[in-house]
Structure 1
Amino acid sequence: MTGEVNTEGELDEAEIFHILGNDRRRATINGLAESGGSIAVSELAEQIAAQEADNEEDAQKLYKSVYVSLRQTHLPKLEEQGIIQYDADDQRIMPGGRMNEIQVYTDGSTGLGAMQRSVYLVVSVVGLLTIVGAQLGVPVLDALAVEVWAVIFLTLIIVLSVYQQYR
């Protein structure tokens, strides 16, 4: 893409909501986040067409429209805002400098996902400290065996994981 990348300051919420107000731009951000680093435009267009279509035949018919709209409209907009980087030679997109800034507002791995990871971190750290404290004979913590504390905290982590998976 040839547009000038706007990386001055942070994106304001109005611009973020404008960007995310389009299903294909949201799907682009989420698809890129799930790809683990970069994704071919053709692969992304296939994914988006499959999401929008009712069946595989409709997805194949929709593919060209999705591909063209990505190349002509959505990728330039996202690149202009510094959310993605687009390699025209390889036909691949990569995260831009502002990808994390906008992912907070999507269903991607930040936002609620970040909060959930924080809960796991807190439970793990408290569990570790409790187990070490019980091992060292800290009053109250030594009321239960180290193994019991370990089972309690591992069970808590499993329950949190199951809850997250099936909520």
Structure 2
Amino acid sequence: MRASDSHHDETLDDAVIHDVLRNERRRLVLERLRDSDDDQAVGDLAEHIAEVESGESPAPRNVRQSVYISLHQTHLPKLDTLHIVAYDSTAKMVSLGSNAVELEPYLVDAPTRRPFAMLTFTTCLAGLSLVLAGWMGIPILARVDPRLVAIVTLLAVALVSGLELGLLTRNRI
């Protein structure tokens, strides 16, 4: 994440970070700025967000206009005050601010948001392997009822999935 030239020493409180990220438009602004190497014009940001919200490309004019007004009047000034973005309201240009780096852990790419996905997948494969090994007559495993292996595997998957769901719900932004 790059930051603007101005530096701000205060760190953001968790409540402030969650308040900022609770709004979809602010999240989309930050993701767009993070993914871009250049400053963004407010009009370009509004067009992108309107397309995401409407699911149409180009988005209807009234949706683009509504997004533009809310960015200009509400969201960008709020982010600028917190030094998360640097917003030049005269030039209508936006870049990441000095505090933007504090939001990075909350804006990670989707694959890293599922810490238990690999564990769930591995548990399923292990259970399937044990059932197949038992059916193939591998000595120790042949004596174990495949239904028991399946039940234990399903319980493990349910436990891991429940833990992941609990963490996602508790950390929901």
The answer as to whether partners of 2:80 and 2:97 remain within 8 angstroms in 1 is: yes
TM-score by length of 2: 0.56
- For 2:94, the equivalent position in structure 1 comes to 93
Name the CA distance, whole Å, in 1 between partners of 2:12 and 2:59. Answer: 36
5+ long unaligned stretches in structure 2? 1-5, 114-173
Q: CA 1:47–1:58 in 2, change beyond 3 Å: closer, same or farther?
A: closer
Name the CA distance, whole Å, in 2 between partners of 1:77 and 1:17. Answer: 13
Structure 1 position 88, deviation (Å): 2.3
Name the CA distance, whole Å, in 2 between partners of 1:57 and 1:97. Answer: 32
Which amino acid in the other structure matches residue 30 of structure 1?
A: E
Structure 1 position 107, deviation (Å): 3.7
Matches within 5 A, 1:17-56: 17-56=18-57
The answer as to whether partners of 2:26 and 2:75 remain within 8 angstroms in 1 is: yes
Name the CA distance, whole Å, in 1 between partners of 2:27 and 2:86. Answer: 16
Point out which structure has higher relative CO (alpha carbons under 8 A, 6+ apart). Answer: 2
- For 2:70, the equivalent position in structure 1 comes to 69
Pick the structure with greater CA Rg.
2
CA deviations on 1:75-94 (whole Å, 9 max, x unpaired) are 01100100010122321101
Q: CA 1:35–1:6 in 2, change beyond 3 Å: closer, same or farther?
A: closer
Name the CA distance, whole Å, in 1 between partners of 2:36 and 2:22. Answer: 22
The answer as to whether partners of 2:42 and 2:92 remain within 8 angstroms in 1 is: yes
Name the CA distance, whole Å, in 1 between partners of 2:109 and 2:36. Answer: 11
Matched residue count? 108
Structure 1 position 58, deviation (Å): 4.5
The answer as to whether partners of 1:84 and 1:95 remain within 8 angstroms in 2 is: yes
Q: CA 1:58–1:38 in 2, change beyond 3 Å: closer, same or farther?
A: closer
Matches within 5 A, 1:6-155: 7-56=8-57, 58-107=59-108, 112=112
Q: CA 1:27–1:8 in 2, change beyond 3 Å: closer, same or farther?
A: same
**Percentage of pairs with the same residue:** 35
CA deviations on 1:1-50 (whole Å, 9 max, x unpaired) are xxxx9945211111100000000000010111112131000000000000
Name the CA distance, whole Å, in 1 between partners of 2:76 and 2:100. Answer: 13
Name the CA distance, whole Å, in 2 between partners of 1:79 and 1:98. Answer: 10
Name the CA distance, whole Å, in 2 between partners of 1:91 and 1:61. Answer: 19
Greater than 6 Å deviation, 4+ residue runs: none
Which amino acid in the other structure matches residue 26 of structure 1?
A: R
5+ long unaligned stretches in structure 1? 114-167
